[in-house]
Each structure stands twice: as structure tokens, then as C-alpha cells.
Amino acid sequence: MKTEIFKVGGMNCASCAAKVEKALRDVAGVAEVSVNAATGRALCTFDPRQTSADRLAAAVKAAGYSMEKPQHAPSGAAPWWRSPWWPVAVVAALIGAGWGLRSDPLLVGATALAAYPIIWGALKRLARREISAEVLVATGVIASASIGEFLAAAEVALIMRLGDLLENYTIERCRRSIGSLLEHMPLTARVRRGQQEQEVPVEEVAAGDLCIVRPGENIPVDGVVESGRSAVNQAAITGESAFVDKAAGDEVFSGTLNVSGALIVRATRAAAESTLARIAALVEAAQQRAAPIQRTLDRWAGWMVPLMIALALLTLAFTHDIVRAITVLIVACPCALVLATPTAMVAAIARAAREGVLIKGGQYLEAAARLKAVVFDKTGTLTRGEPSVTDVKRFCPEHNESELIALAAVAEKMSEHPVGRAVVQHADSMRLPVPDPAAFQAHHGEGVSAEVNGQRVLVGKRSLLEKHDVALAQEHRAHLEAHNEHGHTTLMVAHDGRVCGAICVSDEPRARAEDAVAELRRLAIEKIVMLTGDQPRVARSIATRVGIEHVEANVMPEHKAARIESLRQAHGAVAMVGDGVNDAPALATADLGVAMGVSGTDAAHDAADIALIADDLSKVAFAVGLSRHTLRIIRQGLAFSLLFNVAMISTAMHGVVSLIGGAMAHQVSSLVVILNAMRLLRYGKPRRH
């Protein structure tokens, strides 16, 4: 299957989107279709063996619309004659001159220039047997001109044109919020091939190429640092405000800014497959997927068209005033009602992407707002997923702390166990020499023994030392018991038959895990649970440190889905936060699956409804808060549009509102709803004082 996003021309209402959607669904090989009238885009998943983009475009054309792949406009201002604003300026000037000079020819010219696209669009709608705002406005303009009200006709046409331009501008701002992500992608890359450096288009960089990135330049590709050290600004990808230190072996992403030092990066994928490009494509697709509330409102809007025609006919029957009846038609058009949901969803998904939160569609944004319980996996989610040295204790004066670490690291150097690797990595971070041991033996489940400088070194559990006749004093046992109680793995280090120290290794909580849990509690999430396959003692230790009260340990991955279902029965909608790989069944079972740290992991993209680019748990609370705020914005837009329409219909039927006033009211209601939705682009940003 192939998923493509197309630009659809000629849509201006929910019924238009429904017709385009039906035309696409009727094409053989089409699996999924979602059409958004507000953004003018259609998402279509189809089998390329059965159909093609050209066939899809032909089906849409047969329905009376146009469809093509959207083109990314080059940077720079368009020439003035291609701007849609200058005809509006000319019309405004003609109206001003005609009104001042009392000149009907000037007003007729203004009417013709402003109304031509409206009337042409209305004729196309009528050919498809559609009643839209264009048809209503065209009728009003023609009726006004026919009774000699050229000033009213010109002003109504001007107001509608101006309103349409403002609507398109504000909605396009939401779209540019996503499109601007790709502005961080450099157009060229400096590549080392053989002994030469050459600058090539970024599209020509292949996996395995070495790219040189100087300070102040954007990194052109996803890759791994071969050499060099620098601080990197990853805000474009992860939303992190703090710079991240990068050195040899660290992963970097295209579009991020190299701040301080020079880096040599080996590309791991081509530019077209980069994290930045995938994020932009994912969010673009997500904006097309309608939320359940939007589909419900679209159906309501379809029923409103016959109702408003009936109201206009009743007005005409009782007042015999055709202008008043047309005014009723214009103010009753449910454009603001239809725009309330999609514009808010587009703005919210764009805002989330800027914070490194990828929401796959409006339905998932809506689901996040209704959460009652949140379940966290432990390893790799609440914790970093990699053991690290957290405490070092010396028991003999012959070795200082550095010597103790170095001694243990040499013994563990040949070990494949994660705990042993943590000791070696700690020694590397201290820049300690770690030569190979003269001899090495792994003792399954207990530790390792090695020969270092002609003497035996033991690193492992108490049982390993006792098997080799190394006696433990009361001080050693007390230290072991104290750290085991907190869920730590404690390695005893013996050198030449004597206990010389202990090294504690544990999987530490993520930096902001405690704050994230506290923020979810502040958002009134009823139940926060840790679900893990780890031992109860270890699980309780981590849960206590991050502020989670409810812990379920010894739960195998295949049983997590059942626990999710029982939590849903007890509390309501449940979110599962995991690493997107071994938690896939639980992520799929939950009402909302949230995958951590998916900057380079395709599996996590597939498993989750919401994907967090960075390993930052605070983004879970951000997503919940944003979703709730989005639903509030939608409700505000719906309430305003309904109340405003009722008030304007009533006043129009009584002749209080003129044709010009009705046209202005129609556009004002739509703009208010759109501008209110645009506030979501600022959600979570600190206010300027």
C-alpha cells in the first residue's frame, strides 16, 4: 500500500469534502481516504498495482474538482502580479472612487471585478447541483445589481473576497508551521570522499558517506558522530531547549544545529528518509485524519443546508423582500461551524510536532483529552534502560576510588552482561586506562573472575566471593543489605583474596520522570500505574522515586494487554506509555498508545498513536494538556458559531441586518473561529512580559 497527500482545488465546505471522498473511495484499490476542506488536502492510501495518482486525480476531476500533488514553493516573495491581494485593492479603490464621485460605471466595474470569481464558482457549484456560500453570495450580488444597488453589490463581493483571503492566510499559517520544519534541512552537504572534500546537493548523500559539519551549520543527514565534540541544538526535532553534547558514537539528526565544535558524521540514511523528513510527512498525514467529533459535525452541516434554504423561503413568503431572504441565506451558511474542528486540530497537531510530540491524527488527539488512567512501563520508559554506576564504596586504603573502578573495569572488560558494561563505561567516562585482563572467566549469574597484574580479581555477588574463600565482614554484609533493599545491583570487588570495595549499579529514573508524574496528577488523571516484568523490590524502588503509588511487578509482556483492559473497565480511557517494541500488544490495546524516543525507530512509529521524539516524559502531560485545551477551543468555536448564526438569522429575518451587514457577519464569524483556533499554536509557550 502507498499513502499520498494531494492538494484538492474547488472545495469550500463539508459537502464538497464528502463528494471528493466518495469519488476517491469508488476507485478500485483505494483502502483509506480522508479529505479536509479546511486545509484543502486529501490523504489517500491505495494499492499502486491497482490504481495510480493520475487515476485518482481523474476521479476527482469527474466529480467537479481538481487534485494534484502539492508543490513546495521556493523561498522568496512571489511577484506582485501573482498575489491574490492586488485585485482586492483595485476593487476597494474603485468602490471608493465610485462612491465619492457618485459614478455608477465605476461601481459596476468594481462589482464585475470582485464578483467574477464568485459567480464563476457559483455556476460550477450549480452545475454539480450544490448550494454553497458562493451560490448564495452570487445570488445576492446579482439581485442587488439588478435593482440598481451597485454600491451594495460591490461591497458584498469585496467583503466575501477579502474574507476568503484572510481565511486562507490564517489556515496557511498552520500549514507553514509544519512546512517550516523542512527549512532546517540544508540544501547541500560537505562530503569527504577519499582524500577530497566536496560540496554536493543533500539529495546525493548516501548511507555511509562522511559529512563534515562546521560550527553554526545545520547537520544535513541522520548519522553517527565519527569524530569531534560539539553541542547540538536539537529543538527542531525534539523540542528540547537545552543543547545536547555530542561526541564519537553519538547519534545526530538532520536539521539540528551544530553549535560549537566541528563534527564528522557518518550518514546512516539518505536525506529523503531522514528523521526530519519523516516527521514532516507524518504530521502532514495526521492533519488529514479527521476526529470523530469532526465527522459528526460534517453530517450536521449537511442537514443545515436544507434548513437555511427553508428559512430564506419563509422570509421571502412573509416579507416579499428578496434582498432580505438572500441576507438570511448568507448569514445562515454554516461555514464557521464546519471550520471550528479541523482548524483547531490542524493547529494542535502542528504545535505538538514543534514540541517533539507526533500525534497521528485527530482521533488520537481527542482520545488523549478523555484519559482517566495512564500506565507506564518501567525499563526504558520511566528509567533510562541502561544500568549505570550510582555508588562506589572503598573498604581498604590500598585503593582509591579511581583505582577501584579501573580494577573492576579490567575484570569486566570481556563481559557481555549489561552490569559489567556499565562498569567499563564508567571507567571510560573517568578516562581511566582499561587494558585486557591476562585471563577471564564468567560465572553465570554470579559475576566474573580475572587475572590482573598477576593477581586474581573477583567482581560479582556475595556468593562468588564465598566460593573463592573470600570472607565478608559485617561491614560488607550491612552495605550489601542496605543497597539491595533499594533495588540496586551491588558488585563486590575482591583483589588478591581481600574485599577492597563495592560498586552499585542501577537503572536510574529519567531526569524529568518525577515532574511528569506530578504534572499528570495535576491534570486530574485518576490512576497512574507502573506495569513491569521486573522484581517487586526493584519496581517499588523506582516507583517511589518518581512518585507512582500503584505498582504491578512480574507482569510479562503478553499479560500487559489484559491488565490494560481491566484498568479500562475500572476507570475509563487508558493510555499506555512504553518503548514501542516489547510493549506493542499493550500499546495497541490501550485507548492511546504513546511510544518513547522514536527518533530513529520505525517499529515504535507503527505501534504508537502518539510518538515522542525525545525520551522526555514531560511530553506525555503536554500532549494531554494540549488535547484538553484543543477540545475547549473546539467547543468555544462551536458555541460561538451556533449562537452567532441564530442571532444573525433572527435579525436578518426581521430586516435589521442589511445585505452588506450580512456578508460582513458571515465572514466575521468564520474569522473569529479560525483566529481562536490559531491560539493553539502558542499553547505551552511562556508569555512575554
* Residues with active-site annotation: 377
- In whole angstroms, what is the distance from residue 67 CA to residue 61 CA? 7
Q: Are 650 and 332 in contact (CB under 8 A)?
A: no
In DSSP terms, 244 is beta-bridged to 232
* Alpha-carbon distances of 413 from 410, 433, 452, 492, 504, rounded to whole Å: 5, 11, 11, 16, 17
C-alpha distance across the termini of the chain, in Å: 51
**Burial class of residue 688 in the structure, from the number of CB atoms within 10 Å of its CB (0-12 exposed, 13-18 middle, 19+ buried):** exposed
Backbone angles phi, psi at 683, to 5 degrees: -60, 130
Cα dihedral sign for 343, 340, 292, 64?
A: negative
* SS3 at position 524: coil
* SS3 at position 500: strand
Q: Where are the alpha helices (DSSP H) in 333-417?
A: 335-354, 362-369, 401-412
- In whole angstroms, what is the distance from residue 24 CA to residue 42 CA? 9
Distant-in-sequence, close-in-space partners of 194: CB < 8 Å, separation ≥ 6: none
| Closest by CA position to 615, among listed 580, 641, 570 | 580
| Closest by CA position to 87, among listed 112, 60, 104 | 112
Beta strand 439-443 with 447-452: parallel, antiparallel or unpaired?
antiparallel
* SS3 at position 206: coil
Which long-range contacts does 194-203 make (Cβ < 8 Å, 24+ apart)?
202/271, 203/270, 203/271, 203/272
| Closest by CA position to 660, among listed 308, 166, 312, 324 | 324
Cβ atoms within 10 Å, residue 368: 27
DSSP state for residue 202 in the 8-state scheme: G
- In whole angstroms, what is the distance from residue 326 CA to residue 311 CA? 10
* SS3 at position 219: coil
Question: Cα torsion for 352, 355, 356, 360, to the nearest 10°?
Answer: 0
| Closest by CA position to 427, among listed 454, 455, 397, 459 | 459
- In whole angstroms, what is the distance from residue 605 CA to residue 611 CA? 6
- In whole angstroms, what is the distance from residue 520 CA to residue 182 CA? 32
